[in-house]
């Protein structure tokens, strides 16, 4: 561990600034800081949950509670996290206004209010929701995180809230982990590209001057959160140092460089060090190496976890000192304003240097200045697009491009007059289309938005002959509890149908409550599918799930399989349009869909893991035994690739490789195709990955149409982090591939970078 004195100095930005400094912003920060008392400074570093301020109705602020929290403790931030309740825009705005008025009266410094906006205005009962991030990743279309980010910021600001805890960029590289659906999938490049687009869309182009239609992001969860050894949420991860730098840091690096103003820290630990006291990552990698002057906020009560879970601190005082000295700037201590007094004690005793305290306070103030909160703690602005038809159209379009056709033996599109049995526990549920962080933490969407269609309702509106027998239902408070008493009735109904649409998957969950012990789809749902298939009627499986549940034993029984994941409020309408053939599928998997419980891996596995390796000869187009590989997705049309070309066959470290490929629609109907470019390093000083995604573009093609897709690939993107922790691009051969086409290129020099970030 670094000493407190060194850490205090380490928090000051050094070197090139990730966010260019603004002299007016800095002057305002210094002026406010100069006039603050120790008590006011301590309060700025603490964030509490709205529940500590609400009255018994939960729809308004209790004035006495507000006076205590703001007047006595000088708390500088509030967040809105509730398990079973959410507020309208109007109520939220009224509550925030009241908080701000008290903060300006008692402290003279605005409070900053934050909301967990994961896929749109997810904590406003009347806001707009988009498909979850995992669905946006499946579109391989950068437009959709831009559209969602813009709407998210706009609608959050409409509720007088200037801070959103999004985007999520934890690499979803272990399908057991219950938060995969919050992220953009398993690949670092895809994650970085999509998260960067969302970050800029939320904040706007100038992070020093954020207007009333944009908000500050909190990119999360920094970092390595998504690969716990146990597969369970908030449990330890073991990550090789080169992978941590090369893969897990990549999306955060892209967003820091794009101007992300805040970041939320990983709740768990990496290689035995809780991230909330990991000075190397928090102060070293981010604040020193990037010269980043933003704010690091803890996750929920995680400073307490340093002593009550991780046992690296003896008590609260030691835990707070460890976290702040490591680089934490704001402590999310949701229910305990006494954390303010703990900080005061630690500063007075010298356990937190005054320089570190002031640096943290500067970062909080800087955020508030950049958001314009000192000039307008509250604002009057109409926000005419709130919950608009425009946002609804965007959400529907994103859902259309995100749902993935994984198998089709000719049953799809469904015939117009087919007699359709709709069955399964997800068939008549809106909450399962939305998932967690939808109106409430665990996703009780059905209680708030009955105006949207479930899969059953959407199919009833599209097809004239639809019957319903659930077969299996979700039961009780436990998201895994199921009632299979209706299977016999569903089988009886199936005998009178032409086709069975079985909607299976998961009930809603979020975070630790979503932990599970078996990645297989539930036994009761599998029993339903097996008995339905035994009728001899064709079965279309609709997978509605937050992670790839194993279905290897029932997939052969299906005539078609569609993975809709969590497509949100318009997901069922999109599915009906796709199943009918009114629209065409174009989604592709942003994760590897595993087939076996003991074979969970990602597409970029090491060449030495390849099961088909023979005498050192590698087949770079082969894959392990998976259900469906990363990037897989079918269409109602067919695409052909030809003429993959690289402008120059040799390159050096500073070059940009110009790659082109011709893509043709050789089918009979229009379609969209995500064109994915991969690289393979054939010989390296560390065992290379079998391949890595290096570029993607989404194109539309009419039947018979051909387009040339061009990529510009910086040679430095082909570098990797070596055993010495430094980035290196080594002389030798590389294979570029796209759509079954391949081209060889050669690097003619070896370059090792001294800088930790390239």
pLDDT at 618: 57
Over range 70-93, report the average pLDDT.
Answer: 91
pLDDT at 7 over 60: no
Grouping H, G, I as helix, E, B as strand and the rest as coil, residue 494 is helix
- Report the predicted TM-score, pTM, of the whole model to 2 decimal places: 0.96
Tell me the per-residue pLDDT of 126-170, one tens digit each, with 9 for 90 and over.
Answer: 999 999 999 999 999 999 999 999 999 999 999 999 999 999 999
* Annotation marks residue 573 as catalytic: no
C-alpha pair distances (Å), 395 with each of 455, 573, 591, 607: 16, 11, 22, 39
Do 711 and 660 form a contact (C-beta atoms < 8 A)? yes
pLDDT in tens, 259-280: 999 999 999 999 999 999 999 9
pLDDT in tens, 386-438: 999 999 999 999 999 999 999 999 999 999 999 999 999 999 999 999 999 99
pLDDT value of residue 613: 47
Which region holds residue 259: left if phi is over 0, alpha if psi is between -120 and 50, else beta? left
Q: What was the pLDDT predicted at 5?
A: 36
The single-letter DSSP state of residue 145 is H
pLDDT > 50? residue 441: yes
Report cis status (omega within 30 of 0) of the bond before 468.
no
> Confidence band (pLDDT; 50, 70, 90) for 86?
confident
Considering the segment(s) 638-752 as one domain, its CATH architecture is Sandwich (2.60)
Q: For residue 595, how many other CB atoms are within 10 A of its CB?
A: 18
Looking at 293, 299, 329, 336, which residue is catalytic? 299
In the β-sheet with 466-468, what is the strand arrangement from edge to edge?
404-408, 560-563, 539-544, 499-505, 420-423, 466-468
420 CB-contact burial (10 Å; exposed 0-12 / middle 13-18 / buried 19+)? buried
Average pLDDT of the segment spanning 689-708:
98
SS3 (DSSP) at 441: coil
Backbone angles phi, psi at 394, to 5 degrees: -65, -40
Q: Are 129 and 111 in contact (CB under 8 A)?
A: no
Give the mean model confidence (pLDDT) for residues 660-686. Answer: 98
145: nearest Cα among 100, 109, 113, 184: 184
> Look-up: residue for tokens 């059905």?
446
Distance CA 633, CA 585 (A): 8
Residue 471 has pLDDT above 90, yes or no: yes
Model confidence pLDDT, tens digit, residues 485-505: 999 999 999 999 999 999 999
Cβ pair 140, 398 in contact under 8 A: no
Q: Where are the domains of the chain?
A: 4-173+181-370, 394-580, 638-752
Average of pLDDT values for 173-194?
A: 97
User: Across the chain, what does the average pLDDT equal?
Assistant: 95
* CA pseudo-torsion sign 520, 523, 526, 530: positive
Query: Comparing 4-173+181-370 with 394-580, is the CATH topology the same?
Result: no
- 117-127 pLDDT per residue, tens: 999 998 999 99
User: Would you say residue 4 has pLDDT above 70?
Assistant: no
Reading across the β-sheet that carries 727-729, which strands appear in turn? 720-721, 727-729, 751-752
Q: Mean pLDDT, to the nearest integer, of 612-640?
A: 79
Return the pLDDT at 611. Answer: 56
The arithmetic mean of pLDDT across residues 302-326, rounded, is: 98
Q: What is the mean pLDDT of residues 442-468?
A: 90
Closest CA to 266 of 298, 294, 292, 289: 298
CATH code for the part of the protein at 394-580: 3.40.50.1700
Residue 13: pLDDT over 60: no
* % of the chain exceeding 90 in pLDDT: 91
The backbone torsions φ and ψ at residue 356, rounded to the nearest 5 degrees and listed phi first, read -70, -40
The per-residue pLDDT for 615 is 46
Q: Per-residue pLDDT averaged across 611-617, rounded?
A: 50
465-to-422, 595, 618 alpha-carbon distances in Å: 10, 34, 52
Alpha helices in 316-376 (DSSP H): 316-326, 339-348, 354-370
CATH-assigned architecture of domain 4-173+181-370: Alpha-Beta Barrel (3.20)
738, pLDDT greater than 80: yes
């Amino acid at each position: 561990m670094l000493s407190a004195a060194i850490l205090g100095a380490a928090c000051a930005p050094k070197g090139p600034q990730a966010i260019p400094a603004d002299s007016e912003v800095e002057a305002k920060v210094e002026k406010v800081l100069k006039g603050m008392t120790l008590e006011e400074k301590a309060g700025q570093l603490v964030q509490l949950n709205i529940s500590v301020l609400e009255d018994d109705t939960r729809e308004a602020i209790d004035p006495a509670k507000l006076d205590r929290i703001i007047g006595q403790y000088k708390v500088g931030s509030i967040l809105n996290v509730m398990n079973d309740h959410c507020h309208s825009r109007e109520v939220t705005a009224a509550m925030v206004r009241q908080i701000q008025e008290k903060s300006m009266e008692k402290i003279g410094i605005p409070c900053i209010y934050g909301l967990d906006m994961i896929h749109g205005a997810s904590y406003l009962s009347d806001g707009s929701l988009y498909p979850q991030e995992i669905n946006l990743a499946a579109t391989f279309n950068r437009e959709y995180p831009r559209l969602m980010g813009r709407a998210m910021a706009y609608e959050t600001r409409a509720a007088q809230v200037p801070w959103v805890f999004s985007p999520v960029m934890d690499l979803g590289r272990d399908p057991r982990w219950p938060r995969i659906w919050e992220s953009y999938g398993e690949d670092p490049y895809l994650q970085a590209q999509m998260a960067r687009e969302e970050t800029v869309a939320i904040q706007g182009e100038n992070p020093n001057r954020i207007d009333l239609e944009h908000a500050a992001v909190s990119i999360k969860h920094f970092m390595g959160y998504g690969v716990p050894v146990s597969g369970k949420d908030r449990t330890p991860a073991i990550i090789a140092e080169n992978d941590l730098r090369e893969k897990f840091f990549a999306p955060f690096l892209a967003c820091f460089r794009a101007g992300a103003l805040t970041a939320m820290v990983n709740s768990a630990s990496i290689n035995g060090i809780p991230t909330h006291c990991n000075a190397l990552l928090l102060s070293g990698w981010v604040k020193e190496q990037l010269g980043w002057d933003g704010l690091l906020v803890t996750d929920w009560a995680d400073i307490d976890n340093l002593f009550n879970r991780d046992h690296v601190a003896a008590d609260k005082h030691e835990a707070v000192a460890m976290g702040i000295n490591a680089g934490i700037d704001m402590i999310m201590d949701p229910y305990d304003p006494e954390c303010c007094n703990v900080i005061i004690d630690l500063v007075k005793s010298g356990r937190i240097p005054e320089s570190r305290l002031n640096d943290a306070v500067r970062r909080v103030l800087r955020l508030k200045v950049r958001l314009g909160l000192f000039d307008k703690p509250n604002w009057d602005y109409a926000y005419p697009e709130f919950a608009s038809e425009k946002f609804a159209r965007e959400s529907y379009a994103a859902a259309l491009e995100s749902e993935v056709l994984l198998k089709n033996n000719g049953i799809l599109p469904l015939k117009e007059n087919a007699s359709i049995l709709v069955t399964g526990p997800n068939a008549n549920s809106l909450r399962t289309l939305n998932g967690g962080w939808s109106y409430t933490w665990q996703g009780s969407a059905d209680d708030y938005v009955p105006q949207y269609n479930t899969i059953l309702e959407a199919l009833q509106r599209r097809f004239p002959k639809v019957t319903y027998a659930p077969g299996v239902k979700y039961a009780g408070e436990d998201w895994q509890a199921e009632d299979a008493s209706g299977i016999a009735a569903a089988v009886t109904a199936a005998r009178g149908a032409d086709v069975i649409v079985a909607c299976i998957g998961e009930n809603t969950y979020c975070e630790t409550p979503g932990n599970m012990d078996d990645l297989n789809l539930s036994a009761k749902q599998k029993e339903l599918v097996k008995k339905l298939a035994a009728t001899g009627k064709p079965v279309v499986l609709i997978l509605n799930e937050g992670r790839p549940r194993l279905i290897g034993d029932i997939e052969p029984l299906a005539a078609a399989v569609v993975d809709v994941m969590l497509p949100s409020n318009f997901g069922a309408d999109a599915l009906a349009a796709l199943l009918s053939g009114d629209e065409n599928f174009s989604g592709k998997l942003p994760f590897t869909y595993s087939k076996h419980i003991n074979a969970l891996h990602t597409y970029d596995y090491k060449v030495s893991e390849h099961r088909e390796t023979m005498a050192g000869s590698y087949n770079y187009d082969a894959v392990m035994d998976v259900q469906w590989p990363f990037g897989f997705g079918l269409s109602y049309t067919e695409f052909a690739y030809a003429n993959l070309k690289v402008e120059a066959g040799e390159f050096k470290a500073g070059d940009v490789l110009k790659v082109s490929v011709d893509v043709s629609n050789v089918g009979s109907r229009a379609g969209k195709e995500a064109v994915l470019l991969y690289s393979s390093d054939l010989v390296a000083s560390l065992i290379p990955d079998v391949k890595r995604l290096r570029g993607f573009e989404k194109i539309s093609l009419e039947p018979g149409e051909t387009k040339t897709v061009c990529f510009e690939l910086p040679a430095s993107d082909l570098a990797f982090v070596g055993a010495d922790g430094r980035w290196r691009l080594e002389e030798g051969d590389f294979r570029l591939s796209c759509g079954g086409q391949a081209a060889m290129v050669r690097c003619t020099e070896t370059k090792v970078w001294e800088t930790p970030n390239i």
